Structure 1
Amino acid sequence: MRRLILLATVAAVLAGPAPAQEAPPNATALLFETNQLANAPAGQALTYRYTRFSGIEGAPFGPPVEDRIREVVAPGASPQTRNLKVEMFSGERRMPTATYEDVPGNPVLVRFLEHHLDDLARVLKGNPRYIKNAIRRALRESASVTATEVTVDGAKRPGWRVVARPLVDDPVRDRLRGFDSLTYTVVVSDSVPGQIVSIDVRATSPEGGSLLQETLTYEPNAG
C-alpha cells in the first residue's frame, strides 16, 4: 500500500500542477466589447432563425412567429472589422435594412434586444429604456458566465453561457405581471462566425405557463 501511495505521489510530481481553468470573462465585455466578426468571412452571410411564442390569453404579443435575420458580410477597413447589411424578418414583418460600417462587434444581439424591448414595453405599457437599463445593470453586476460546449461541424467546441435575470429583484416587480421572471441566456463561441450561437429569453407565470419565449439561433448552413 505504501509503495502504491509513493508511486502515485511521484507520478503527480512528475506530471506537474494541473492546468488552471480559464477564468470566466465579464458578461458585458464578452457580449458587447469583443471582436466578434474577425472570424466572419467577407462575402458570405450569417443567418439566424428567430422564434417567438406567448401563452398569454388574448395574444398581446400576436401569433407565434418563426422568421429569419440575415447579415450580409463585406470587408471592413481592417482585417478585424466588417461592413454589414442586416436584413431583419420577411413579408409584413420586414424591417428596413440596417447598414453598419467598419464594425468589430456583431450587431445581431443589439437588434434582437431592441425589437424584444419594443414589444415588451408595448405589452407592459412601460418604458423600454427602464428594462434596457435593468438588463445592462444585470449584465454588469449579477449575470453568471459559465463555460459550455457548442457543436460545430459535428465536433464539440468551447463556448460561454451568459445568464441574466434583470427584473427578479426589481422594486416594481409586483406591477410586471409575472415578467419579473424574465431570464436572458446568451451562448457565444469563437468557433462560430460572428460568435453569437443563440439567444433565449423566457418569462414564466407563477403557475408555470409561458408568458414569453423568444429565441435567436445561428444557422450554419443557411447562407
Structure 2
Amino acid sequence: MRRHVLAAAVAAALACPALAQTSPSPTPPPQASPQPGAPAQPSAQAPGAPTATALLFETNQLAGAPPGRVLSYRYTRFSGIEGAPFGPPVEDRIREEVAPGASPETRNLKVEMFSGERRMPTATYEDAPGNPVLVRFLEHHLDDLAKVLKGNPRYIKNAIRRALRESASVAATEVEVDGKTIPGWRVVARPFVDDPIRERLRGFDSLTYSFVVAPEVPGQIVSIDVRAASPDGGTLLQEALTYEPNAG
C-alpha cells in the first residue's frame, strides 16, 4: 500500500498549484448547457466565472463527502487507431473510500483503481481537501499518451498545465446526477491546438479536455472527458471518467 501526500501527487501529474487550499467551492449561476461527456470547444471565459485551476486544483472538493461514503467512478477508454497502441477498449471503475481527516474540512482516502489485470496498487491520501481521482486519471492518461506518441511526458504535462492556466474556458452548466438537475461548471481546454510541433503529434493536436464539476456532488468531480479525432473523423482516443452516485 502506498502513502501519498496530495500536493506531491498534483505536482507529479500537472505541476499545478498544490491542493492545499480549502476555500469553499464557488456556486455557479444556473445556466443550461450540454450534458457531461458531450464534445465541447473552448470559448470565451464566462463573466464572473472562477479560473480553471481554482475549480480543479484549489477548491476543497471533499468537504461535502461524508466519512464512510464510497465514491465510485466509471472509467472508459476507446481508440480506433490501427494496431491498437492504446490496447483494447476498457470499461472499469475507480473507487474512493472516504474517512475522517485531521480536521473537519479534510478527509483520508483509500483509492482503488481498476480491477483484474489492470488493477493498480491501492493508494492512500491523508488530510486531502482535493479529490485525488482527478490526479489519478490524469497521471494514467499522461503515461499512456506519452508511450503511444513516444514523446516526452513532461512536454505533454506542461502543455496541459499551460492550457488550464492560460486558455481554458469556464462556463456555467447544468448536470443531471441521480435524477436531479444541479448547477455546475464546465472547463474545456485544447492544449495542442496551436502547438509549435503539432505536426509531430499525429492528429493528437486535436485533443480536447472537458471537466465538469458541481459543488453539490460529493467529491465535486462529475465527469472528465478526453477526446482526439483524426482529420477523417476517426477516433484517435476517447477516454472518460463519470461519477456513479449509486454504485457504492
- Please indicate, yes or no, whether the TM-score normalized by the shorter chain is above 0.5: yes
Instruction: Name the CA distance, whole Å, in 2 between partners of 1:33 and 1:104.
Output: 9
Q: Secondary structure at the match of 2:239?
A: strand
Match in the other structure for 2:155: 130
Instruction: Please report how far the alpha carbon of residue 215 of structure 1 lies from its aligned counterpart in structure 2 after TM superposition.
Output: 0.2
Given that 1:55 and 1:210 are in contact with CA atoms closer than 8 Å, whether structure 2 keeps it comes out as yes
Q: Secondary structure at the match of 1:132?
A: helix
Instruction: Name the CA distance, whole Å, in 2 between partners of 1:91 and 1:77.
Output: 33
Tell me the alpha carbon deviations over residues 119-163 of structure 1, each in whole angstroms, 9 at most, x when there is no partner: 000000011111111011000000000000011332211000000
The AA in structure 2 aligned to 1:89 is F
Alignment gaps of 5+ in structure 1: 1-20
Match of 1:155 among 133, 158, 180: 180
Does the alignment pair 1:211 with 2:218? no
Q: How does 1:120-199 map to 2 (within 5 A)?
A: 120-199=145-224
Tell me the alpha carbon deviations over residues 48-91 of structure 1, each in whole angstroms, 9 at most, x when there is no partner: 00000000000000000000000010000111100001100000
Instruction: Name the CA distance, whole Å, in 2 between partners of 1:109 and 1:129.
Output: 18
Q: Secondary structure at the match of 2:60?
A: coil
Runs of 4+ residues over 3 Å off in structure 1? none
Instruction: Name the CA distance, whole Å, in 2 between partners of 1:208 and 1:151.
Output: 29
Does the alignment pair 1:99 with 2:124? yes
Tell me the alpha carbon deviations over residues 99-126 of structure 1, each in whole angstroms, 9 at most, x when there is no partner: 1000100010110000001000000001
Tell me the alpha carbon deviations over residues 169-212 of structure 1, each in whole angstroms, 9 at most, x when there is no partner: 01100000000000000000011100000000000001110000
Match in the other structure for 1:90: 115
Match in the other structure for 2:38: none
Q: Secondary structure at the match of 2:135?
A: helix
Given that 1:143 and 1:165 are in contact with CA atoms closer than 8 Å, whether structure 2 keeps it comes out as yes
Aligned length: 203
Tell me the alpha carbon deviations over residues 3-49 of structure 1, each in whole angstroms, 9 at most, x when there is no partner: xxxxxxxxxxxxxxxxxx97110000110010000000101110000
Match in the other structure for 1:23: 48
Instruction: Name the CA distance, whole Å, in 2 between partners of 1:40 and 1:128.
Output: 32
Instruction: Name the CA distance, whole Å, in 2 between partners of 1:185 and 1:143.
Output: 10
The AA in structure 2 aligned to 1:139 is L
- Relative contact order: is structure 1 or structure 2 higher (C-alpha 8 Å, sep ≥ 6)? 2
Given that 1:152 and 1:191 are in contact with CA atoms closer than 8 Å, whether structure 2 keeps it comes out as no
Match in the other structure for 2:227: 202
Match of 1:113 among 138, 142, 163: 138
Structure with bigger gyration radius: 1
Alignment gaps of 5+ in structure 2: 1-45
Q: Secondary structure at the match of 2:154?
A: helix
Superposed CA RMSD in Å reads 1.0
Does the alignment pair 1:81 with 2:106? yes
The AA in structure 2 aligned to 1:173 is R
Matched residues, percent identical? 85
Q: Secondary structure at the match of 1:100?
A: strand
The AA in structure 1 aligned to 2:93 is R
